[in-house]
Amino acid sequence: MRLAVLGAGAVGGAVAELADEYGHEVVALADSSTAAVDDDGVDAAAALQAKAADAGLGTAAPEDALAADYDVLVEATPTTLGDAQPGFDHVASALERDRDVVLANKGPVAERYADVRALAADSAGSVQFEATVAGAIPVLSTLSDLGPSRVDAVRGVLNGTANFVLSRMAAEGLGYEHVLAEAQDLGVAEADPAFDVEGTDAALKCVILSNRLAEAETESVAELRAATTSLAEAEIQGITDLPPNALELAADDGQTVRLIGEATRDSVRVGPRLVPENGTLAVSGTRNIVELETAHAGRLAISGRGAGGDATATAVLSDVNRL
Amino acid sequence: MRLAVLGAGAVGGAVAELADEYGHEVVALADSSTAAVDDDGVDAAAALQAKAADAGLGTAAPEDALAADYDVLVEATPTTLGDAQPGFDHVASALERDRDVVLANKGPVAERYADVRALAADSAGSVQFEATVAGAIPVLSTLSDLGPSRVDAVRGVLNGTANFVLSRMAAEGLGYEHVLAEAQDLGVAEADPAFDVEGTDAALKCVILSNRLAEAETESVAELRAATTSLAEAEIQGITDLPPNALELAADDGQTVRLIGEATRDSVRVGPRLVPENGTLAVSGTRNIVELETAHAGRLAISGRGAGGDATATAVLSDVNRL
């Protein structure tokens, strides 16, 4: 497959570098200001090196990447909320050309799922988005294999930053501010950690899961539009105002606290929850876990790296391979 | 899809009963002595009820099921070792008719993998076998999605009976014979538990995983034949002669013991291993877990029901849906 990769950060860069190993060719690689475009294949390592040296990815403009002769558009620009731009327009541009789209950007499928499906319904191209939920964890393909109508709920630890902070607070008896500062030093938390520790990121992933579950019960884009849950409708509580002794009290009872996101067909909830200390959901560090509540196979849980360039790129490239 | 289901035990019976919900039709259902065959669809519930009342599944002979007008043969007869008969001949019969095969029976893919692939190479039909390893856990499809060449090893708890015994011995401080008898009372262990507690069942699953990993590096059936690992070559130790104080000593060190199977491209090992008490592999009860060691995404772990009719049937039906 010939790939146009939009976004040259950790995920887009890793997709471009690993594509060859998966048997694909990158014909365009763009960030928000420059692009490398070559019908005979972009040298991704060289382009990324040039970008790192502030020379730009290449001599082309970002819009040239969208116009390139690709089979699959990989949308790995930063997630934006609301109208999900410019990611949404990138998706639209590819579908209008009957090309396939693989998303790492959560915006279009979290905030405008019905709009994306409406465009896909009129296109020969399809939209895949495994990488938008829990990085390397194949939750969406497992959901498709099980059949979304046979899954009642999906829950789990969907934000590595929040989980690092909580699991370290629990293991070391340290305070929130202390562990957050440590996480920032380690590069596990952003300078502005609000998106992660307030639960927004986990909620976006749950909105995507909820949309996918709801879709199984709808037969038209209009029905889907009515059935989707938006971020605004989600019940979200972060970990910033956890009572200081909550972890201690939990431990006395063989439990611990994790930021758990839960998606059903018609609801999204994210908040700190008590979970058994040795239970399935009590993963440590930046690890994520997703548990699917199935109709015929009980609970199925998948844990792994929920973020990181290479890990997330494997989800993107698995989507490409499934096309 | 029109299914012919061979084997009407827990798995075959559940496949026949759930097929309709997955959008498929059962045109034949057979055990070793009788069959129900109907081009317009077999009433699976009625056939199974008749079998339970010792009246047989239907008025047809088992060989009539093989001759039925099906798209997919579901082979769910009991696993046999060595020549893997009669399962192997069933697979051959379907492939010679250019039909697809979905296996729940481990024999053909554990003991005669290269023979199966040789037949498939000459057929328009394909062979799927998700249900042969760890029931509802989608380890083989995840391996395919990641690309077997990008997975170095697969390890895990692959036998629910052995895990029930070990985890209960550890949790309650009870002896092996006591817990085994309890497991037999509960129906978790067979009257003759050797196949499970001596590690053979876990080893067969690891042989299948090892074959799948080895296959990624081979380009012909002859190469595959040379690369496959047989059960005879596997290093297998069961849980029957665990030193009486092993679990206690492990617990003193924050560890526990699990029967771990490990498959690489060229080796299969099964034996009791020390694992961290709160670690990923320390699942309890009959639950199974599989951990994949990936090249670019670290460790990915999937846990769930490793056995049981309905759970294993979901793996069979997911295979059918992927055809």
pLDDT tens, A189-236? 999 999 999 999 999 999 999 999 999 999 999 999 999 999 999 999
Inter-chain touch A302–B300, beta carbons under 8 Å = yes
CB pairs under 8 A between A and B: 99
Rounded to the nearest angstrom, the minimum Cα separation between B83 and chain A is 31
pTM recorded for the entire structure: 0.95
Same domain for B291 and B267: yes
Cα B170 vs. chain centroid, distance in angstroms? 26
Which residues of B are annotated as catalytic?
A: 205
pLDDT along chain B (323 residues), means of 10: 97 98 97 97 97 96 97 97 97 98 98 97 98 97 95 97 95 92 94 96 98 94 94 96 89 95 97 94 96 97 96 97 93
Q: CA nearest A301 in B: which residue?
A: B303
Rounded to the nearest angstrom, the minimum Cα separation between A319 and chain B is 8
Same domain for A161 and A270: yes
Same domain for A272 and A155: yes
Q: CA nearest A306 in B: which residue?
A: B297
Q: Quick one: average pLDDT of A90-102?
A: 98
- pLDDT in the model for residue B243: 85
Model pLDDT for residues A47-79, shown as the tens digit of each residue: 999 999 999 999 999 999 999 999 999 999 999
Mean pLDDT of all residues belonging to chain A: 96
Same domain for A85 and A149: no
CA neighbours closer than 13 Å in the CB half-sphere of residue A184: 12
Same domain for A179 and A46: no
Residue range(s) defining the domain that contains residue B253: 139-305
Same domain for A41 and A125: yes
Same domain for B178 and B31: no
The whole-angstrom separation of Cα B148 and Cα A155 is: 28
- pLDDT in the model for residue B43: 97
The whole-angstrom separation of Cα A203 and Cα A210 is: 10
Same domain for B198 and B235: yes
SS3 A101: strand
The whole-angstrom separation of Cα A75 and Cα A87 is: 7
- pLDDT in the model for residue A243: 85
Inter-chain touch A297–B280, beta carbons under 8 Å = no
Task: Please say if the pLDDT value at position A244 is more than 80.
Answer: no
Total domains, chain A: 2
Same domain for A200 and A259: yes
Which of A314, A317, A318 has the most B C-beta neighbours within 10 Å, making it the best mutation to test the interface with B?
Answer: A314
Task: Please say if the pLDDT value at position A183 is more than 80.
Answer: yes
Between the alpha carbon of residue A243 and those of residues A116, A175, A176, A235, A252, the distances in Å are 41, 10, 10, 19, 15
**3-state SS track over chain B:** CEEEEECCCHHHHHHHHHHHHHCCEEEEEECCCCEEECCCCCCHHHHHHHHHCCCCCCCECHHHHHCCCCCEEEECCCCCCCCCCCHHHHHHHHHHCCCEEEECCCHHHHHCHHHHHHHHHCCCCCEECHHHCCCCCCHHHHHHHHCHHHEEEEEEECCHHHHHHHHHHHHHCCCHHHHHHHHHHHCCCCCCCHHHHCCHHHHHHHHHHHHHHHHCCCCCHHHHHHHCCCHHHCEECCCCCCCCCHHHHHHHCCEEEEEEEEEECCEEEEEEEEEECCCCCCCCCCEEEEEEEECCCCEEEEEEECCCHHHHHHHHHHHHHHC
Inter-chain touch B141–A141, beta carbons under 8 Å = yes
* Per-residue tokens: B270: 């099964």
Give chain A positions within 8 Å (CB) of B302: 300-303
Same domain for A170 and A317: no
Which of A300, A316, A320 has the most B C-beta neighbours within 10 Å, making it the best mutation to test the interface with B?
Answer: A300
Same domain for B109 and B156: no
Q: Quick one: average pLDDT of A85-89?
A: 98
Rounded to the nearest angstrom, the minimum Cα separation between B285 and chain A is 12
Same domain for B174 and B255: yes
- pLDDT in the model for residue B92: 98
What are the residues of chain B with a beta carbon less than 8 Å away from any beta carbon of chain A? Answer: 14, 18, 21-22, 135-138, 141-142, 145-147, 150, 277-278, 280, 282, 294, 296-305, 310-311, 313-315, 318, 321-322
- pLDDT in the model for residue A278: 86
Task: Please say if the pLDDT value at position A26 is more than 80.
Answer: yes
- pLDDT in the model for residue B278: 86
Q: Quick one: average pLDDT of A136-162?
A: 96
> Residues of A62-97 as b/e, b for ≥16 C-beta within 10 angstroms?
bebbbebebbbbbbbbebbeeebebbbebbbbbbee
The whole-angstrom separation of Cα A40 and Cα A33 is: 22
Question: Which amino acid, one-letter code, is at A2?
Answer: R
Nearest to B304 among A137, A297, A310 (CB): A297
**In this prediction, what percent of chain A has a pLDDT beyond 70?**
100
Residue B219 CB: number of other CB atoms within 10 A? 8
